[in-house]
Amino acid sequence: MIERYTLPEMGALWSEEAKFRSWLRVEIEAARAMAQNRIIPREAFAVIERKAAFDVKRINEIEAEVNHDVIAFLTSVSEFVGEEAKYLHYGMTSSDMLDTALALRMKDAAEIIDRKITTALTLIKKLALKYKNTPCIGRTHGVLAEPTTAGLKFALWYTELNRGRERFTAAARTMAVGKISGAVGNFANLDPRIETAVCHRLGLKPAEVSTQVLQRDRHAAYITALALLASSLEKFATEIRNLQRTEIGEMAEGFTRKQKGSSAMPHKKNPITAERITGIARLLRGYAVSAMENIPLWHERDIAHSSVERVIIPDALIIIDYGLQKFIELLKGLTVNEKRMLENIYYGGGLVFSQRLLLRLTGPVGSRDTAYRLVQRNALKAVEGKGLFIDLVKKDKDIIGYLRISEIDSCFDLKYYTRNVAKIFKRVFGK
């Protein structure tokens, strides 16, 4: 991932240094377990544990000759350890180390992601409670529909993001496995106790069954959960982008004192963070497809997945980490224009109260279709600019023949649209 979108903590986890450090950790734990089970001399393990190290530059030099990154790594470590290095990687295959170390880093990355999801949920909940009863207009098909509340919008975000968290947590748990089972996963040269001991020390579970590699449905589920998470962030960001439109003006991203919105137009305040989140989600959905393509490997393994994962796994985690951080900043700086929300509700003289009027009129008229047409003809006139909806209705002799003016006025009361919000909030937040 490019430096622009790489935050320090997550970026460090996917550095070359961190990669080789995770490889070394797996090798040391494997040697420890083998020493404890008397497969290799305990004295040799003591030397390995004390001396094991690596040099990234040296690894790159060796790989240029042998064209095998694991052999290059092990050769570099051997130069530090000395004679006892012959007991490193004993009975293991490259993927025993690679897949276990990768799972370890993906587990660590999941903890970073979860912390940021938790922060975002806290901020959304705060917004939901603050604007719980703030009326705003709901829109369907991009057109004014009926009043709702801004708090309900945020409550919806909260429940969706919480599902995303649960989905990712489950995928991360499924991914947190290791394997030390040998060339085709049958433990021909190793005892399963070694795998169990190594995984226990690393905070992983041993895979129930493996081939030479861990099966890639785990990795695909993990990346897909990230893509779904990003898609939800995009959904929230798109709502903000739409509500920031000049003709709507109900919400907007924060805009700092020295910020500039356009190189050409000084008046511009553009929703650049929300738009960036949209782009990030597009990228992650592409990574999810690539991860699924990695599932069908040939027989007990091939390396068709390897080049893909070197790109998509670090990039997916780095970019979702960045996207979550931007979303958190977006929530912290979000402005809500309650005055504009109220103005939009009464656009056209309260067109959005048409259903309340329809329901009140249907009984006296005796026909829903007739009542619908009476209300609709006045609503369409208001849309065409021929008057305010409420005034047109009060002047319609066919309507006032059935309803008193006070009954008409009561149909334009916002209380109908907020009276059950507390019940919804109790289901979501318990209060």
Q: Which residues are catalytic?
A: 141, 262
- 98 vs 158: CA distance, rounded Å: 37
Q: What is the Cα–Cα distance from 75 to 81, expressed in whole angstroms? A: 10
DSSP per-residue string spanning 102-125? HHHHHHHHHHHHHHHHHHHHHHHH
Burial (Cβ within 10 Å: 0-12, 13-18, ≥19) of residue 63: middle
Instruction: Say if CB 49 and CB 27 are below 8 A apart.
Output: no
CA 201 vs CA 30, 40, 46, 55, 222: distances in Å: 10, 18, 17, 25, 23
Residues contacting 168, CB < 8 A, separation 6+: 110, 113, 114, 117, 222, 225, 226, 229
Burial 215-243 (b: 16+ CB within 10 A, else e): bbebbbbbbbbbbbbbbbbbbbbbbbbeb
Residues 6+ apart with CB under 8 A from 206: 177, 178, 179, 180, 192, 195, 196, 199
Phi-psi label, residue 38: left if phi above 0, alpha if psi -120 to 50, beta otherwise: left
